[in-house]
Every structure is written in C-alpha cells, then in structure tokens.
A = this chain, B = another copy of it.
Amino acid sequence: MKISSRFSVAVHILSLLAIAKDAHCTSEWIAQSVNTHPVVIRRILGMLKKAGFVKIPKGSGGAYLIKDLDDITLLDVYRAVDAVPGGELFQFHEHPNPACPVGGNIEAVLQLILLRAQAAMEQILADVTMEQLVENLNEKIGS
C-alpha cells in the first residue's frame, strides 16, 4: 500500500500558509486550492496544530504558521500526519512458526534490512526543509 496522501496535502497546506502569508486561510479557502472537502483540511490542520506548526483561532478562523519553515523538515511533516500508521513502513506477517528454523529467525534477520531501508527513505525527507521546498515552489511559480 501507498503512503497516505495526508502527507502531500499537509505539505500543500504549509506551502499555502507560507506563500499566502496575509490571506485569511480558512479550511474552506485551503480546500479550494487542494480541491477537497474543508473537513479533510481541518483534520490535517488539526494534526499540524498538534505538532506545533500552526495556530488556528477558534471562532474567527484562518490558520497561520507559528514555526520557522527552516525548522520544519519534510520528515517532521510526515510524522505529524502519521503518514504511515505506527511508523513502521514494512508490514510483517505476524507469528511465523517458531518451531521452524526459518520461521523462528527470518523476522529478526529481515527486520534489520527493512529498518535500514526505511531509514534511508526518511533521511531524504529529513534533509529537505519546508523552507527549501517553498523556495523551489516560488521559483517554479515565478518562471
């Protein structure tokens, strides 16, 4: 299975908040850019709020950034929206037969490698900040 689109939507939202700094960014307004339902946006915004990236006035609405984009890596966003439930990318078949030499040991041996693979993927995300991404985005928009 694929990694939830919550992640790409969250990046979209944060980029919007950064670029439309002065707009009144309601869930309704954001939803139009993402092209989805406002409640979907509110759910994800809620996670970004819990992570301390944004603030959302309750009655008046309009989310805004409260953390420097340089201090938010893509991995932080990935984690904030729980892009992979539980954090482990690879699903194991649980309870192989412990009486079998292979069944009893394969999990430990394979796990070593899969965690390394996961770490390699996450490292790429950790190496890119939202600041850099928004910079790229601005270049692309400008051209």
User: Which A residues are within 8 Å of any B CB, using their own CB?
Assistant: 1-5, 7-9, 11-12, 15-16, 19-20, 32-36, 74, 84-86, 88-93, 95-97, 100-103, 105-110, 112-114, 116-118, 120-125, 128, 133, 136-137, 140-141
Q: Name 30 A/B residue pairs within 8 A (Cβ), A-sorted.
A: A1-B2, A2-B85, A2-B86, A8-B91, A8-B110, A8-B114, A9-B93, A12-B93, A12-B102, A12-B103, A15-B102, A33-B97, A33-B103, A34-B97, A35-B93, A35-B96, A35-B97, A89-B121, A105-B141, A109-B133, A109-B137, A110-B133, A112-B136, A113-B125, A113-B128, A113-B133, A117-B122, A117-B125, A118-B121, A120-B124
Secondary structure call for the A interface: helix
- What's the Cα separation between A120 and B122 when bound, in Å? 9
Contacts of A140 in B (CB 8 A): 105, 108-109
